[in-house]
């Protein structure tokens, strides 16, 4: 069966249902919002100002990127966009305040080509059957097996940390770290040798997980002062387990670690300093949503109502999927600012209207196969965060019996709503298996 589709990061979109008790038509200072598609034009982009009609936005090209710019006159509203592939049709919708939407989309499509370069290198000492990764700043490449060459494209100018992780059973086990290197365009990076003295072993420490329930897994991340790098370990977890990070001898002031735990539909992520024994606490299970059909026509419209839990009052997402290949997906996200004082999250597939340019063929199609998934967060899923010791984020998910529960987006994992500024819409569109 097709796994339930879920993008790792929402990076565009907002549609509006009027939040109970709020007044979306309250006049405020106009807010300009610019949504950027870095891989080409999108089939459709639209926005809703307050509770008004949906309005289509035309993209303006700049090279291969497209910018969709509009102005919101009301305090609340929404944005939506469409992505189509051979596997399916995806509509992403987000409801939030105008300020939140403007911040959400405040990313660019990378460093201008004049300020980037391409460098090359070779890696030896890897492990057969596993990938090693090399990253320089925010650019990375991988080498499979014991040795091989690699190329790093679009490397930004200036000194950055180079980090290479050797993949092995159970995750990365060895690291090569070169601080603040700066290579010329076309340069050959001195060989990375995991069998040499430059390589060092990952450190580990005990992790205690409160409210743990199988199945579950643990991941770890490393944030460096001179460029963010990631080292992940994912596997079966228990109430007492371990995680990996850099040894103290390899860190400098400002380097941080992140620990993420997912267990039985719940997740927690926290930022710490040096690797040390640590305890994390998971939140309660997510409340079960009520799913109703608003309209059974084409496109079909669904509504998900989730009671607000005090532990997860920051934002919520509802995903709907129908059909077999091609699959039809609609993802609806709402922030606490949009929800206002309402006691429930009401995540409804919007009526885009006939004049917005939205093609009904993109939306949910009537089908015998209908699945859903929900996620609730104790933080604003659309926010951008800066790693800081003690920062802890929790979330929980639920799903229909025929769907695989959506993977919770660990705070260090990806995304504009997390700690890493998104680089393109396409990077956040994670199409899974097309098989049914």
**Given the structure tokens 């885009």, which residue do they identify?**
352
Decide if 180 is inside a domain: yes
At residue 285's C-alpha, the angle toward residues 264 and 373, to 5°, is 75
Q: Which residue has the higher pLDDT, 342 or 8?
A: 342
Structural domain of residue 130, as residue ranges? 1-203+286-384+417-436
At residue 350, φ and ψ (nearest 5 deg) are -75, 160
> pLDDT class for 185, splitting at 50, 70, 90?
very high
Predicted pLDDT at 402: 57
Predicted local confidence at residue 431, as pLDDT? 35
Does some domain include residue 342?
yes
Q: From edge to edge, which strands make up the β-sheet containing 200-201? A: 139-144, 131-136, 160-168, 171-181, 200-201
Q: What is the DSSP string of 269-282?
A: EEEESSS--EEEE-
The answer to the question of residue 247 being in a domain is no
Q: If you write DSSP's letter for every residue of 92-113 in order, what string do you get?
A: EEEEEEHHHHHHHT---S-S-G
Q: Is residue 226 part of a domain?
A: no
CA-closest candidate to residue 15, choices 295, 350, 338, 417: 350
Domain-located, residue 407: no
Distance between CA 81 and CA 435 in Å, rounded?
25
pLDDT of residue 403: 52
| Position with higher pLDDT, 169 vs 96 | 96
Q: In this structure, is residue 32 part of a structural domain?
A: yes
Average pLDDT estimate for 32-44: 89
Whether the bond between 299 and the residue before it is cis, its omega within 30 degrees of 0, is yes
- 363 in any annotated domain: yes
pLDDT score of 256: 93
375-433: per-residue pLDDT in tens? Answer: 999 999 877 778 899 999 999 999 997 554 433 333 333 333 332 222 233 333 333 34
Query: Mean pLDDT in the chain?
Result: 83
Q: Of 285, 299, 219, which is closest to residue 258 (Cα–Cα)?
A: 219
Structure-model confidence comparison of residues 64 and 149, the more confident one? 149
**Residues across the chain:** 436
The answer to whether residue 357 scores a pLDDT higher than 50 is yes
Mean pLDDT of 233-247: 81
Q: Are the C-beta atoms of residues 330 and 349 closer than 8 Å to each other? A: yes
Give a yes or no: residue 53 inside a domain. yes
Do 32 and 71 form a contact (C-beta atoms < 8 A)?
Answer: yes
* C-beta pairs of 183-190 under 8 Å, 24+ apart in sequence: 183/117, 183/119, 183/155, 184/117, 185/117, 185/118, 185/119, 186/117, 186/118, 186/119, 186/120, 187/117, 187/119, 187/120, 188/119, 188/120, 188/121, 189/119, 189/120, 189/121, 189/162, 190/121
Nearest 10 degrees: Cα torsion 97, 102, 103, 105: 120
For the segment 343-353, what is each residue's pLDDT rounded down to a tens digit? 999 999 999 99
**Overall domain count for the chain:** 1
What confidence tens digit (pLDDT) does each residue in 269-289 have? 999 999 999 999 999 999 999
Distance in angstroms (rounded) separating the CA atoms of residues 431 and 205: 35
Residue 164: closest CA among 186, 190, 129, 187: 190
Measured CA to CA, the distance from residue 355 to residue 376 in angstroms comes to: 33
């Amino acid at each position: 069966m097709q796994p339930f589709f879920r993008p790792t990061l929402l990076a565009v979109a907002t549609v509006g249902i009027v939040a109970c008790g709020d007044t979306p038509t309250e006049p405020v200072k106009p807010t300009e919002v610019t949504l950027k598609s870095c891989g080409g034009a999108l089939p459709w982009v639209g926005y809703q100002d307050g509770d008004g009609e949906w309005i289509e936005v035309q993209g303006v090209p700049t090279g291969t990127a497209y910018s969709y710019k509009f102005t919101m006159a009301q305090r609340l509203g929404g944005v939506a966009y469409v992505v189509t592939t051979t596997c399916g049709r995806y509509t992403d919708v987000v409801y939030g305040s105008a300020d939140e939407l403007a911040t959400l989309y405040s990313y660019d499509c990378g460093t201008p080509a004049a300020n980037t370069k391409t460098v090359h290198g070779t890696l030896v000492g890897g492990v057969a059957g596993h990938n090693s990764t090399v990253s320089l700043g925010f650019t990375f490449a991988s080498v499979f097996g014991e040795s091989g060459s690699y190329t790093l494209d679009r490397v930004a100018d200036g000194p950055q940390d180079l980090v290479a992780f050797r993949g092995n059973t159970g995750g990365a086990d060895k690291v090569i770290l070169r601080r603040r290197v700066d290579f010329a365009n076309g340069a050959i990076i001195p060989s990375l040798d995991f069998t040499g003295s430059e390589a060092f072993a990952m450190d580990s420490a005990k992790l205690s997980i409160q409210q743990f329930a199988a199945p579950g897994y643990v991941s770890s991340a490393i944030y460096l002062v001179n460029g963010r790098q990631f080292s992940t370990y994912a596997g079966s977890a228990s109430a007492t387990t371990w995680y990996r990070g850099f040894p103290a001898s390899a860190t400098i002031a400002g380097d941080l670690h992140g620990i993420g735990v997912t267990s039985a539909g719940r997740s927690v992520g926290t930022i710490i300093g040096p690797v040390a024994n640590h305890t994390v606490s998971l939140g309660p299970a997510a409340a079960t949503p009520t799913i109703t059909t608003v309209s059974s026509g084409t496109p079909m419209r669904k509504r998900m109502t989730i009671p607000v839990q005090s532990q997860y009052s920051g934002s919520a997402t509802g995903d709907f999927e129908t059909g077999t290949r091609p699959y039809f997906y609609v993802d609806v996200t709402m922030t606490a600012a949009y929800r206002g004082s309402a006691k429930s999250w009401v995540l409804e597939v919007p009526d885009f209207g006939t004049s917005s340019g939205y093609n009904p063929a993109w939306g949910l199609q009537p089908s015998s196969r209908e699945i859903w998934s929900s996620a609730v967060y104790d933080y604003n899923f659309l926010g951008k965060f800066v790693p800081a010791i003690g920062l802890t984020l929790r979330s929980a998910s639920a799903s229909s019996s025929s769907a695989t529960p959506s993977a919770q987006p660990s705070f260090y994992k990806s995304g504009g709503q997390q700690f890493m500024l998104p680089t393109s819409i396409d990077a956040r569109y994670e199409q899974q298996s097309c098989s049914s």
